[in-house]
Amino acid sequence: MLRRAFSTDIRSTLKAAIPKRVEQLQALRKSEASLGELTVGATIGGMRGYKALFWQSSQVDADLGVTFHGKTISDCQGFLPKCKDELNDPNSEFLPESMFWFLLTGSEPTQQQIDTFSAEIASKSTLPDYLIKVLDSLPTTLHPMTQLSIAISALNNDSQFARAYEKGIPKSDYWEYTLEDSINLIAKLPGVIGKIYSNTYFGGKTLGELDTKSKDWSHNMATVLGYTQDSANVKNLTAAQSQDFINLIRLYCALHADHEGGNVSAHATHLVGSALSDAYLSYSSGVQGLAGPLHGLAAQEVVRFIVEMKKNVTDINDKKQIEDYLWSLLNSKRVIPGYGHGVLRKPDPRFKAMMQFGFNRPEEFQNDDYFQLVNNLSNIAPGVLKEHGKTKNPFPNVDSSSGVLFYHYGLTELLFFTVIFGGSRSMGPLAQLVWDRIYGLPIERPKSVTLEMLQGLK
């Protein structure tokens, strides 16, 4: 049964949850129960699928997809609070701030609590002058993800944890300083992301101003990117389209906030954090992992694939043409981007949620050939992949849908998709980092083996 939070703020709500959780973990510390045998093949094969990490807030089930404290995406869409000004709008999405609260505390926040927390996030969103100078000093040709990592690392200058640790604080207080750093980092990300977008693609022109009082995290991100009516509106969106884009940011960032602990960005954050690095340094490492082509760049690859495919089929509704195109890829030893998943064995519920965003707006998407092609592919590609016989999961993952939605609203700078991903993914790993401090988890230090040692195990 889901617990509703009655404490006044996120700090007291979290504090109330600590004693029971710590007691539960302490009872397990000396457990000798087995999680399975580790083989040589697994050791040199990336440990895929092996249960070797402790992660509290989310889990990926082969059938259900990602769940957050046991709740599905559909559940979260039903109970997590939305923007206070849009409670009666059926197309308004729940706030990423709500997801962070839930990931961190395990409790359902009230609308008033999220209104207050969202306002706190906004109040901390202004970028320090030194960070603006750092970003302005970077070459515009530098990859946006590299710029994001640099910016997050530079914010270490303001780390309350690092400063307190240097002075000397008891271990029992580590989590409180880590929480403050985490909230501050999350609050700064819209401004950082907007600044990188402006510098990289618009010559440093201010595209929008952060509202430090009344706007939610996603609204501020959309504004500093220049996609709202109270911004430069760089893509000439209508008022309805601007509101859609804000809700797209909300949905995308909430869905991408966490995906258990074994993916590169989450694991890197946890690994670096286990050395007692502060939240900024820890998550900066996670962002660097996210920048890798095998992790966070999939959405842009899907868009390139869809754009190229449309050039090569004369009718996006012709099943035979689509099948022939897919087989031409597979027969040339290429893959179909956006299909398959390391854990899932059914369609990714995040894909369904992102597609539903488009279906809920037929006036926007019924004539969008890219969106319609993605939808058609989701019905055709699984059959082709099953017949091909080399894919364990022939169904679409979230990357199949997210990119074309951003593309529809004018975000055609494909390299930038992962930067928004980097903003969203901060929430899960940082929530876990706070709990790492609460539990007093040790530094991660597995034993390595040489080739000769492995050969000797035959």
Give per-residue pLDDT as tens, 117-135.
Answer: 999 999 999 999 999 999 9
Catalytic site residue 259? no
Residue 355 lies in domain: 298-408
| Annotated catalytic residue, options 219, 259, 267, 341 | 341
Is residue 107, in this structure, part of any structural domain at all? no
Q: Are residues 387 and 400 in the same domain?
A: yes
Give per-residue pLDDT as tens, 246-285.
Answer: 999 999 999 999 999 999 999 999 999 999 999 999 999 9
Is residue 53, in this structure, part of any structural domain at all? no
pLDDT at 104: 99
Of the candidates 197, 41, 15, which has an alpha carbon nearest to the alpha carbon of residue 106? Answer: 15
- Which secondary structure element, helix H or strand E, spans residue 108, and what is its range? strand 107-108
Q: Which residues pair with 59 in a beta bridge?
A: 67
Number of other CB atoms surrounding residue 378 within 10 Å: 19
Catalytic site residue 295? yes
* Cα end-to-end span (Å), the chain: 49
Q: Are residues 157 and 287 in the same domain?
A: yes
Catalytic site residue 399? yes
| Annotated catalytic residue, options 75, 211, 295, 388 | 295
Q: Which residues pair with 61 in a beta bridge?
A: 65
Is residue 381, in this structure, part of any structural domain at all? yes
Q: Are residues 136 and 264 in the same domain?
A: yes
**For every residue of 393-448, which 3-state class applies, written as one string?**
CCCECCHHHHHHHHHHCCCCCHHHHHHHHHHHHCHHHHHHHHHHHHHCCCCCCCCC
Q: Are residues 211 and 283 in the same domain?
A: yes
| Annotated catalytic residue, options 115, 244, 278, 399 | 399
In this predicted structure, the answer to whether residue 144 has a pLDDT above a threshold of 90 is: yes
Q: Are residues 388 and 312 in the same domain?
A: yes
Q: Are residues 189 and 302 in the same domain?
A: no
pLDDT at 345: 78
Q: Are residues 308 and 289 in the same domain?
A: no
| 301/335 Cα distance (integer angstroms) | 11
Predicted structure pTM score: 0.95
Is residue 306, in this structure, part of any structural domain at all? yes
Q: Phi then psi for 31, rounded to 5 degrees?
A: -70, 140
| 449/458 Cα distance (integer angstroms) | 14
Q: Are residues 261 and 126 in the same domain?
A: yes
Name the DSSP letter for residue 94. B
Q: Are residues 374 and 431 in the same domain?
A: no
Question: Domain tally for the chain?
Answer: 2
| 442/54 Cα distance (integer angstroms) | 12
Is residue 361, in this structure, part of any structural domain at all? yes
User: Tell me, what CATH number does 216's domain have?
Assistant: 1.10.580.10
Q: CA angle 63-65-66, nearest 5°?
A: 145
Give per-residue pLDDT as tens, 369-419.
Answer: 999 999 999 999 999 999 998 888 899 999 999 999 999 999 999 999 999
Q: Are residues 327 and 395 in the same domain?
A: yes
Q: Could you tell me how far CA 346 lies from the centroid of its own chain? A: 20
